[in-house]
């Protein structure tokens, strides 16, 4: 999350009024790991809240050449597909929730990101759910890189279940909405406030001021006061009729502050806008979003701006 410090913030900022967010179809990226199993449990919980259909997607990645650089016969490819299909069938059979939740499965030879994108677009998916091991540096492989790369290719929100997430029976009990106050982040604010209204969840709005962005001659108190006013403008006028909200302005690195604030508040969901700023959109182990996913105690819902 890029954070900026402005002495004078725009006066004409739209006030949000909540509109119901409906999640008819959830796509779950499955690789049969423990982390994707945790993501599936989150999807099942959300499905029960919204009555959503769950689409289970698994990509069988083929290796074109063997150790001797000779082409691999087609038979092993077919066997790999059969094995993956059988594992998907076992997963569905062993999950009792699927007796009551409408579901479909998609198993195919393809790149994981390509398959998720295609299934999401063809089925008009409302939310993608994926697990991430959250490894950094050279360990950012497989599911970790896939989960964050999905953010770049799908237009719908993506819920990423990181390595330190606690299993929640109610994913919208306490919501932390982290925002840099960029106008393109209004869609993510809409999701945060709508979920808070629907589930009577405690809502906390957080903006982190990066100390490196401070400008000389600007009073920190004035900047913080202006930011608090901007955050307040994001709240619907009737908020107090269905929930309570808190506004927080912190100083430091967003990647450190967001997870620690979520932990201190006992948040069950972090909502972050995904837009043009490289700190959120750039796929790198040092990016704010990557750090938040690695350290967050709860799932992270990343909402792409329609304007990006």
Statement to judge: residues 150 and 198 lie in one domain: no
CA 161-166-169 angle, to 5 degrees, is 95
Indicate whether 109 and 188 sit together in one domain.
no
Residue 9 falls within a domain, yes or no?
A: no
Q: Which of 270, 273, 269 is nearest to 303 (CA)?
A: 273
Tell me how far apart the alpha carbons of residues 182 and 81 are, in angstroms, rounded to a whole number. Answer: 45
**Residue 284 within a domain:** yes
Looking at beta carbons, which pairs linking 59-65 to residues 24 or more positions away fall under 8 Å? 59/108, 59/109, 59/110, 59/111, 59/112, 59/114, 59/115, 59/116, 60/84, 60/107, 60/108, 60/109, 60/110, 61/109, 61/110, 61/111, 61/112, 62/109
Query: Is residue 104 domain-shared with residue 184, that is, in the same domain?
Result: no
Contact 37, 31 (CB under 8 A): no
Mind listing the pLDDT tens digit for each residue in 186-218?
A: 889 889 998 998 899 999 999 999 876 555 556
Mean pLDDT to the nearest integer, 78-90: 90
Give residue 35's domain range.
25-161
Residues 257 and 214 both lie in one domain: yes
Total number of domains constituting the chain: 2
Bridge partner list, 247 = 205
The answer on 205 and 116 residing in a single domain is no
Same domain for 156 and 178, yes or no, is no
Q: Are residues 181 and 299 in the same domain?
A: yes
CATH number of the domain within which 216 lies: 3.40.50.620
Do residues 182 and 154 both lie within one domain? no
Residue 37 lies in a domain: yes
Does some domain include residue 190? yes
pLDDT of 156 strictly over 90: yes
- Asked if 88 and 107 count as a contact pair (C-beta separation under 8 A), the reply is yes
pLDDT tens by residue, 13-25: 444 555 678 999 9
- 99-144 pLDDT, tens per residue? 999 999 999 999 999 999 999 999 999 999 999 875 543 333 344 4
């Amino acid at each position: 999350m890029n954070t900026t410090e402005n002495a004078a913030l725009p006066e004409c900022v739209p006030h949000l009024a909540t509109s119901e967010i409906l999640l008819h179809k959830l796509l779950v990226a499955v690789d049969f790991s423990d982390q994707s199993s945790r993501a599936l449990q989150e999807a099942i919980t959300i499905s029960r809240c919204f009555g959503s259909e769950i689409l289970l997607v698994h990509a069988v990645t083929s290796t074109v050449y063997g150790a001797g650089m000779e082409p691999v016969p087609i038979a092993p490819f077919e066997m790999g597909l059969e094995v993956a299909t059988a594992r998907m069938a076992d997963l569905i059979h062993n999950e009792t929730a699927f007796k009551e939740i409408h579901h479909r499965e998609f198993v195919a030879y393809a790149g994981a990101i390509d398959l998720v994108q295609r299934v999401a677009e063809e089925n008009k998916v409302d939310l993608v759910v994926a697990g991430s091991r959250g490894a950094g540096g050279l360990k950012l492989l497989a599911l970790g890189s896939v989960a964050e790369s999905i953010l770049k290719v799908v237009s719908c929100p993506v819920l990423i279940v990181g390595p330190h997430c606690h299993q929640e029976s109610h994913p919208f009990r306490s919501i932390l909405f982290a925002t840099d106050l960029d106008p393109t982040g209004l869609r993510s604010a809409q999701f945060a406030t709508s979920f808070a209204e629907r589930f009577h969840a405690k809502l906390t709005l957080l903006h982190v001021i990066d100390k490196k962005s401070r400008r000389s001659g600007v009073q920190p108190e004035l900047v913080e006061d202006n930011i608090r006013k901007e955050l307040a403008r994001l709240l619907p006028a009737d908020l107090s009729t269905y929930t309570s909200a808190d506004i927080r302005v912190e100083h430091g690195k967003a990647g450190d502050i967001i997870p620690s604030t979520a932990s201190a508040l006992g948040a069950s969901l972090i909502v972050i806008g995904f837009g043009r700023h490289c700190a959120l959109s750039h796929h790198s182990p040092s990016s704010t979003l990557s750090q938040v996913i690695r350290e967050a105690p709860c799932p992270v819902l990343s909402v792409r701006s329609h304007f990006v």
